[in-house]
Amino acid sequence: MSVKLNTRQVGDVSVVDVSGRITLGEGSSALRDALRDMVSKNQKKILLNLGDVSYIDSSGIGELVSGFTTVTNSGGQLKLLNLTKRVKDLLQITKLYTVFDVHEDEAGAIRSFA
Amino acid sequence: MRDPARHESETVERFLDSTLDSVDHAEELAVGVAQRAGFGEEDLLKIGMAVRESMVNAVVHGNRYNANKKVRFSVAKNTERFTIRIADEGEGFDYEDVPDPLAEENLLRGSGRGIFLIRTFMDELKINRLELGGMEFIMVKYMVPK
């Protein structure tokens, strides 16, 4: 299964439910396009729910980082929600875990944008 | 120690097209052999990911998706070592020039983590520049952890 992205609005926070594989090709470019689209629409508060991401490779990690930079540089915030053990391990190995603001509870994550 | 009954040798070799489908195919082949070799779930994930990263390097950065160039892929296991070789026909690169992805100034780079992940997930990694052009990655997982 490739990646699926569903975006919903909770107050002024855009929550993107991501599922499937974020790997080089369709998966990573879909995520990149979605984030760029949100930035172009001036959406400043973005929460990526990665709870159903089954696989991520270095290209996918690169897209998370690039997305974080794009959103931050536009004056917005990008946060992560519900990391699977695999994604969490990869972010820790690559020393990126502390770069992102990571949450395990959606309501708390939404409140943290205020 | 893994199941000694599974310690027969096995070798798989393929010449793959320079496509992203080949990346998936190589990962499936390597994980299949690793499964038959008796590796557990965690090691299977690591082996699969190392193969994926190395194949992406060969297809994208080495052969640059060139339809006239192939990726030579092999998996071999014996009683001691599970060895994967992946070679491209590209122009080659000096891997020592690849920036350290863990350095503070490189943390927010969008790429450059592949080789680091392979080193992390495998017990050995050798990178050779081939005489006729191209790079070869030789990745080893020990059958009995040291």
The predicted complex's ipTM stands at 0.89
Model pLDDT for residues B69-112, shown as the tens digit of each residue: 999 999 999 999 999 999 999 998 888 888 999 999 999 999 99
Condensed to tens digits (0 to 9), the pLDDT of residues B133-146 reads 899 999 999 998 87
pLDDT at residue B7 greater than cutoff 60: no
Cα distance between residue A49 and residue A13, in whole Å: 12
State the number of CA atoms in the 13 A half-sphere of A13 facing the CB.
Answer: 22
Mean pLDDT, chain A, as a whole number?
A: 94
Minimal CA separation from B103 to chain A, in Å: 9
Please give the helix or strand (H or E) that residue A77 lies within, else none: strand A77-81
3-class secondary structure, B111: coil
What tokens were used for A38?
């949100």
Would you give the distance in Å from CA B62 to the centre of its chain? Answer: 14
The residue among A23, A84, A1 whose CA lies nearest residue B49 is A23
Q: How confident is the model at residue A26 (pLDDT cuts 50, 70, 90)?
A: confident
Distance from CA of B5 to the nearest CA of A (A): 31
Could you tell me the pTM of the whole model?
A: 0.91
Q: pLDDT class for A31, splitting at 50, 70, 90?
A: very high
Contact list, B108 vs chain A (CB under 8 Å):
65, 68-69, 99
Report the C-alpha gap between B94 and B87 in whole angstroms: 15
pLDDT exceeds cutoff 90 at A27? no
| B93 or A57: which leads in pLDDT | A57
| Neighbour tally for B101: CB within 10 Å | 21
Q: Which residues of B touch A21 (CB under 8 A)?
A: none
Burial class (CB in 10 A: 0-12, 13-18, 19+), A51: middle
Tell me the mean pLDDT in the region B41-60.
96
Name the phi and psi angles at B94, rounded to 5. Answer: -95, 105
Rounded Cα distance, A22 and A36, in Å: 16
pLDDT at residue B37, as a whole number = 93
**Cβ <8 Å between A63 and B110:** yes
Angle separating helix axes A58-73 and A26-40, nearest 10 degrees: 10
Running DSSP on this structure, what letter comes out for residue B89? -
Joined together, the tokens standing for residue A26 give 């369709």
* Cβ A37 vs Cβ A68: under 8 Å: no
Element (H, E) at A53: strand A45-56
B113-127: pLDDT as tens digits: 999 999 999 999 999
- How far is residue A35's CA from residue B56's CA, in Å, rounded to a whole number? 24
Residues of A in contact with B122 (CB under 8 A): none
Closest chain A C-alpha to B8 CA, distance in angstroms: 31
Mean pLDDT along residues B11-26: 96
Of chain B, the percentage scoring pLDDT greater than 90 comes to 84
Tens-place pLDDT, residues A61-71:
999 999 999 99
| pLDDT exceeds 90 at position A25 | no
pLDDT attached to residue B5: 46
> How far is residue B103 from each of residues A70, B108, B119, B131, measured CA to CA in Å?
20, 10, 16, 32
Question: What percent of chain B lies above the pLDDT cut of 70?
Answer: 95
Closest CA to B97 of B66, B61, B70: B61
